[in-house]
Amino acid sequence: MVRLFLFITATVMSIAVIPMVAQADNFQTWLADLRVEAQKRGVSDAIFDAALADAKPIKRVIELDRSQPEFTLTFDEYLEKIVSKTRAQKAKKKLIEHDEILTEISKKYGVQKRFIVTFWGVETNFGQYLGSFNVPHALATLAHDGRRSAYFRKELLNALQILQEGHIKPSNMKGSWAGAMGQSQFMPSSFLSYAVDWDGDGKRDIWGTKPDVFASTAYYLKKAGWDDQLTWGRRVLLPDSFTLDGKDAMMLADKKIRKNLQFWAAAGVRSADGSPLPKADPVARLVMPSGAEGATFLVYSNFDSILDWNRSNYYALAIGHLSDMLN
C-alpha cells in the first residue's frame, strides 16, 4: 500500500509539474521571439536582458486583468471616493507650493494650473501612489497571456524603447499592473507621444521630476484639444418634462447633441442654483451619469479632452468637480 501511495503521489506531482514546466518553456520561447522584434526596433540585448532576463508570468497581474468587480459604484459614491475635502485641501497646497513652475507650464501649453494639479491628485495622489509592479514584467505577462496580446505586446516594445532611450533604469520602471507609469500614469505609448523633458536634463522623467510630470500632463491635454478659455462644464437644472425636437433629456445626452449655451438657456436650462446660465457662447452637451432621476450636467469641449485621457464619464466629472474646488 505504501508503494502504491508513493507511486500515485509521484504520478500526481509529475502531472502537476508538467504544465508549469511547459508554461515556463513557452514563455521563454515567446521572449526569444520578442527579442528579435525588439532588436529590429533598436533595443540592445543589454537593455532587453536588464528588463526581462529574469521575467516570469505574474499570477497577480492575470488575476487583476480577468477579475470582475463585485459591485458597481453609483456616481455619487464614486464622486465621494475621488473628490474628498482632504484631497481638495492638499491640491490647494500643491498649487501654492508649485505655483511658479505651474504658471510657466500653463502659459506654454494653454492648460489652467488647477487642472494640471487635479489630474496629478486623482491619478497618483500627488505622486504618492505610482504602483509597485515591474512594468516590463507586467506587460510581458499580459502580452503573453493572449487575451489582449497584440495591445500589450506593442506597449511592452514601447516600454523597451523608453529604457533604450535612457529615461529610466529598468529596475525603477514601476507602475500599475496594466503598465501605467509614473506620476501621470502614462502607458508607454502615451509616454512616447506626450512625455516632456521640461528641465532639459535629457530624460522625460514622469516618475520623479515634477516639472516633467506637470508639463507632460499639460502637453497631453493640449494635444487632446484643450481650450484654456473654457472650464469643463457645470451642473444644471432642466425644466419639467424637458424635450427638444421630440427628444427627452436622456436621448439628447445619449446622442451627444451639441448646442451653444444660449440655446440651452432659451430652452429653459438653468444653473444648478437656479440662476441663469452664463452669457457666453460655448458649445455644450448634456451628461446624465445617473440617468433621468440623477444630476444633469452641461459639458464643454474640455470635457471631451478629459475623456481622451480616461473614457469614463465618472472620471471626467470627478476631474471637473475637484478642479472647481480649486478655482
Q: For all residues of the chain together, what is the average pLDDT?
A: 91
How many CA atoms within 13 Å lie on the side-chain side of 218?
Answer: 26
Are 279 and 143 part of one and the same domain? no
Residue 75 near residue 154, CB atoms below 8 Å: no
Share of the chain above pLDDT 70, in %: 91
**Predicted local confidence at residue 280, as pLDDT:** 84
Look at residues 163, 181, 199 and tell me which one is the last residue of a structural domain: 181
Are 157 and 267 part of one and the same domain? no
Tell me if 198 is assigned to some domain: no
pLDDT at residue 198 is higher than 50 = yes
Tell me how crowded residue 202 is: count the other CB atoms within 10 A of its CB.
Answer: 10
Distance CA 19, CA 25 (A): 10
User: Following CA atoms 27, 33, 38, 40 in sequence, which dihedral angle do they give, to the nearest 10 degrees?
Assistant: 180
DSSP code of residue 278: P
Are 34 and 162 part of one and the same domain? yes
Are 258 and 173 part of one and the same domain? no
Share of the chain above pLDDT 90, in %: 85
Look at residues 118, 149, 181 and tell me which one is the last residue of a structural domain: 181
pLDDT in tens, 131-142: 999 999 999 999
What DSSP string runs through 18-48? HHHHHHHHHHHHHHHHHHHHHHHTT--HHHH
pTM of the model: 0.89
Bridging pattern class, strands 259-260 and 283-287: antiparallel
Tell me if 159 is assigned to some domain: yes
**Domain with 30 in it: what CATH number?**
1.10.8.350
Neighbouring-strand partners of residue 298 = 234, 286
Are 26 and 171 part of one and the same domain? yes
Tell me if 109 is assigned to some domain: no
Are 155 and 290 part of one and the same domain? no
DSSP code of residue 229: T
Query: For the chain, where are the alpha helices, taking DSSP H only?
Result: 2-40, 45-52, 59-66, 75-82, 85-97, 99-109, 113-124, 135-145, 149-164, 188-194, 210-223, 249-254, 261-266, 301-309, 313-324
pLDDT in tens, 133-182: 999 999 999 999 988 899 999 999 999 999 999 999 999 999 999 999 99
Tell me if 310 is assigned to some domain: no
**Predicted local confidence at residue 4, as pLDDT:** 40
Tell me if 311 is assigned to some domain: no
**Predicted local confidence at residue 25, as pLDDT:** 66
pLDDT in tens, 210-225: 999 999 999 999 999 9
Are 25 and 144 part of one and the same domain? yes
3 state DSSP class of 285: strand
Are 153 and 51 part of one and the same domain? yes
Q: What φ, ψ does residue 228 adopt, rounded to 5°? A: -75, 0
**Looking up cell 497571456, which residue turns up?**
145
**Looking up cell 502615451, which residue turns up?**
190
Tell me if 195 is assigned to some domain: no
Tell me if 55 is assigned to some domain: yes
**Predicted local confidence at residue 31, as pLDDT:** 96
DSSP code of residue 238: P
Distance CA 261, CA 317 (A): 19
pLDDT in tens, 278-326: 988 899 999 999 998 899 999 999 999 999 999 999 999 999 999 999 9
Maximal C-alpha separation, the chain = 91
Residue 309 to residues 35, 235, 305, Cα–Cα distance (Å): 31, 21, 7
Are 58 and 154 part of one and the same domain? yes
Per-residue pLDDT band for 24 (boundaries 50, 70, 90) equals low
H or E, element range at 133: strand 133-134
Sign of torsion over alpha carbons 323, 198, 307, 124:
negative
Look at residues 121, 148, 181 and tell me which one is the last residue of a structural domain: 181
Tell me if 187 is assigned to some domain: no
Residue 268 near residue 239, CB atoms below 8 Å: yes
Are 54 and 177 part of one and the same domain? yes
Domain count, the chain: 2
Q: Which domain holds residue 44?
A: 2-67+131-181
pLDDT at residue 12 is higher than 70 = no
Are 291 and 154 part of one and the same domain? no
Are 135 and 278 part of one and the same domain? no
Give me Rg for the CA atoms of the chain. Answer: 25
pLDDT in tens, 226-261: 999 999 999 999 999 898 888 999 999 999 999 999
**Predicted local confidence at residue 71, as pLDDT:** 61
**Predicted local confidence at residue 241, as pLDDT:** 87
Grid coordinates representing 306 are 478629459
How many CA atoms within 13 Å lie on the side-chain side of 84?
Answer: 8
